Structure 1
Amino acid sequence: MASAALFADDIFIPVGDAPAIPLRDIAPWAVFGLLLAMIFLYFVSTEQGALSLFKGMYIHEFVHDGRHLLGFPCH
C-alpha cells in the first residue's frame, strides 16, 4: 500500500484539482477533428466511385489497403 500512496502523491498527476476545460474551448477543435475524419472517410470509402471528385486511379491506389482494412470492397 505504500507504493500506491507514493504514486498518488506525484506532482505531475493531477488528482481532483484539475480545472475543467470549458465546452466553448473544445467545440472548435471537435468540429475540426470531425471534419478531418469525414474527409478521410470519404476518400477511403467512396472516392473513385459514383461520387468521385478526381479522375484516374491515384486516390484509389493510395488508400487501397486502408479501404480493405476498414471493410470497404473495391474490386
Structure 2
Amino acid sequence: MAQTIAPPATGAVTPAPIPLKAIAPWALFFGVLMLVLLYFIGAEQGATSLLSGTEVHEWVHDGRHLLGFPCH
C-alpha cells in the first residue's frame, strides 16, 4: 500500500497581525474595568467606601475571601 503526500497548498494567505491601535482601546477598557472590580472586591468598605450600607460587601464577600482580602 503506497502512501502519497499531498503537495503544500499554494496561494495560502496568512492573516495580517492585528495592529496595536486596534487593540489599545479594548485593553484600556478591560484594564479599567478590572481595576474597578478589584476596588469593589478589595476596598469597598470603611473609610474609602463610595456607597453607603453593606450591600456591596455582601455581594462580594466570598470573592473577597477567595482573593485573600480580610473583611472581618
The two structures have a TM-score, normalised by structure 1, of: 0.76
Q: Give the structure 2 partner of residue 23 of structure 1.
A: 20
Q: Are residues 1:62 and 2:59 paired?
A: yes
Q: Which fold has the larger relative contact order, with Cα–Cα distance below 8 Å and residues 6 or more apart in sequence?
A: 2
Amino acid in structure 2 at the alignment position of 1:22: P
Deviations 1:25-58 (A, max 9, x none): 0000000000100000000000012200011100
Which of structure 1's runs of 4+ aligned residues deviate more than 4 A? none
Identity of aligned residues (%): 58
Q: Give the structure 2 partner of residue 42 of structure 1.
A: 39
Unaligned runs of 5+ in 2: 1-7
Q: Are residues 1:32 and 2:29 paired?
A: yes
Deviation for aligned residue 1:71: 0.4
SS for the counterpart of 1:50 is helix
CA-atom RMSD, angstroms?
1.6
Higher Cα radius of gyration: 2
